[in-house]
Amino acid sequence: MSRKTTFGAIAAVAFAATLFPGGHDAAALAQAASEQLSPAPDAAPELVPEHITFVSEPVVQPLPDAATDTPVLTEAGSLNELVGMIDTTAAMDAEMRCLAGAVYFEARGEALAGQLAVAQVIVNRTEDGRFPRSYCGVVSQPGQFSFMRGQRMPAVREGSPAWTRAVAVAHIAHQGLWDSEAGNAVFFHARYVKPGWSRTKTRLAQIDTHIFYR
């Protein structure tokens, strides 16, 4: 009990004795006041920590900076619309140039669905243990793409609309922004040829001038 409480209880006893000297009520008031001086023996003591620890870090995580968030493309209604939304002016690394170059040389004369299917096959191959792990490795693998000149890709007309579309399609395939009809295909050939290996593969789709297999 604090010193202030003790003095208050003593004062209450003295006050009761003064107002009711010898009376029954005075005795009762005096007894109640004295009980405040001596708390019950079984009362639990109040525990106060010796030291208070403050949390130095904020409990609530800060909101992300909107300026640094990756922009999300607005949902496109068609593949053609999505191609028009892709920024094709940004600089590309060697891997993306290999992917876009394969689309350009292999399928630039086809509809966008056919171009995306070719790009999808290259992406699928990098995820298949039977092929190289990079786009350039897949494209330059001997005997796979007839447009290759050994380990080199021919020069591209980079200012042409065909190259712009190929770059956009490459980005779409790389980021998985649109589902291709080729699905998980890893093989394809032109429809006017019939290679022997096609009999051992599962045909998935025919898109423009190419047939795709798994």
- Report how far residue 64's alpha carbon sits from residue 93's, in angstroms, rounded to the nearest whole number: 28
In this structure, are 21 and 118 located in the same domain?
A: no
Cα 48 to chain centroid, rounded: 46
- Report how far residue 108's alpha carbon sits from residue 101's, in angstroms, rounded to the nearest whole number: 10
Model pLDDT for residues 100-120, shown as the tens digit of each residue: 999 999 999 999 999 999 999
Residue 144 included in any domain: yes
Residue 118 included in any domain: yes
Cα 160 to chain centroid, rounded: 35
pLDDT of residue 10: 45
- Alpha-carbon distances of 95 from 1, 137, 167, rounded to whole Å: 79, 9, 12
Model pLDDT for residues 181-212, shown as the tens digit of each residue: 999 999 999 999 999 999 999 999 999 999 99
The domain tally of the chain equals 2
pLDDT of 213 higher than 80 = yes
Report which DSSP code applies to 46: P
In this structure, are 135 and 201 located in the same domain?
A: yes
- Report how far residue 35's alpha carbon sits from residue 118's, in angstroms, rounded to the nearest whole number: 93
Task: Return the H-helix or E-strand segment holding 132.
Answer: none
Backbone CA torsion sign across 8, 14, 17, 19: negative
Q: Identity (one letter) of the amino acid at 4?
A: K
Token pair, residue 60, equals 């609530």
In this structure, are 203 and 149 located in the same domain?
A: yes
Token pair, residue 18, equals 């003064």
pLDDT of residue 73: 59
Model pLDDT for residues 40-67, shown as the tens digit of each residue: 555 555 544 454 444 444 444 444 444 4
Residue 54 included in any domain: no
- Report how far residue 204's alpha carbon sits from residue 189's, in angstroms, rounded to the nearest whole number: 12
- Report how far residue 144's alpha carbon sits from residue 72's, in angstroms, rounded to the nearest whole number: 35
In this structure, are 154 and 206 located in the same domain?
A: yes
In this structure, are 80 and 156 located in the same domain?
A: yes
pLDDT of residue 12: 47
Task: Identify whether the C-beta of residue 188 lies closer than 8 Å to the C-beta of residue 211.
Answer: yes
Query: What's the pLDDT band for 75 if we cut at 50, 70, 90?
Result: confident
In this structure, are 91 and 25 located in the same domain?
A: no
In this structure, are 16 and 95 located in the same domain?
A: no
Residue 86 included in any domain: yes
Domain span at 32: 3-37
pLDDT of residue 74: 56
In this structure, are 88 and 152 located in the same domain?
A: yes
This prediction's pTM: 0.66
Q: Identity (one letter) of the amino acid at 202?
A: T
The domain spanning residue 142 has which CATH number? 1.10.10.2520
Strand extents, DSSP E, the chain:
187-190, 203-207, 210-213
- Report how far residue 7's alpha carbon sits from residue 17's, in angstroms, rounded to the nearest whole number: 16
3-state secondary structure of 54: coil
